[in-house]
Amino acid sequence: MMLKPAFREKAVKAPEHWHQVAHGAWLKAEVEQVLAPHIERLYGYHLAKVGCLTAELELPRNAIRHHMTVGDCQRNPIQVRALPTAWPFAEAALDAIVMVNQLEFEQDPHQVLREMSRSLIANGKLILVGFNPLALNQVQTLWPKKVNQYPWCGRYFSKMRILDWLSLLNMEVTTQHYFAASMLQQRWPFLESGVTKLARWIPQVSALYVIVATKREFPLTPVSERAKAQKVRPKLQTVPLANQTRR
């Protein structure tokens, strides 16, 4: 089975408020609860929160001094207006990046991840929250009216596919799991309770997933042939006197 290319010719505008997303208030609360323990462990000087949905999250305090919101929309919470594919940040300038439900609406998600990896320092943290394409709420896309509504109008990527992209960027994944089991509707409460019970056994049917990754840098130090020979051949004075031989 061949996967569709991640790049698409026409970009889809990302939602600017949680109330634009189906069951948005409940999803926002779930995301805040899941991210809280990871945000509290962050440290450093600069934290970038990408996207309008991320800017509206009420995140707990952490040791990072400077927080900034980055996005491509004209809203008050957005402090740095920039394209995610061409960030104005220098290389190794950020200590942590948080992006919630934004990658699904980007035109070139590969480039977005490359820009974030470039801007992170060594051992910097990247926290991603994405919509799960295997979630049970995807059955709502069978109705043509739902296709053009948030969040179903975005391009979903599976968790395994995101993990593969991160591995190419030398990102070590430390946390990954599904959460927020829901059909994203309020008309039939019995469906919501059924999905919640099913997710206890099959978490892959949940609506969202979270990935926490750390940027790793492995320095390459070339070793000359002469240095290798010196390590293999013992020096005469380091060999015990009883074991020394003369030619």
pLDDT on residue 144: 81
User: Is position 189 within any domain?
Assistant: yes
Across 56-75, average pLDDT? 88
- Say if 229 falls within a structural domain: no
117-145: pLDDT as tens digits = 999 999 999 999 999 999 999 988 888 88
Average confidence (pLDDT) over 49-59: 93
Check whether 204 has a pLDDT greater than 80: yes
Q: Domain total for the chain?
A: 1
Whether residue 135 lies inside any domain: the answer is yes
In a domain, 171, yes or no: yes
Residue at 72 is within a domain = yes
- Residue 86: its pLDDT value, please? 87
**pLDDT average, residue stretch 152-180:** 94
Confidence band (pLDDT; 50, 70, 90) for 85?
confident
Q: Does 10 reside within a domain? A: no
Please report whether residue 236 resides in a domain: no
pLDDT average, residue stretch 70-85: 83
Domain assignment of residue 77, yes or no: yes
Residue range(s) defining the domain that contains residue 22:
18-221
CATH number of the domain encompassing residue 30: 3.40.50.150
Q: How many CA atoms lie within 13 A of 146 on its CB side?
A: 13
- Dihedral Cα 233, 237, 239, 241, nearest 10 deg: 150
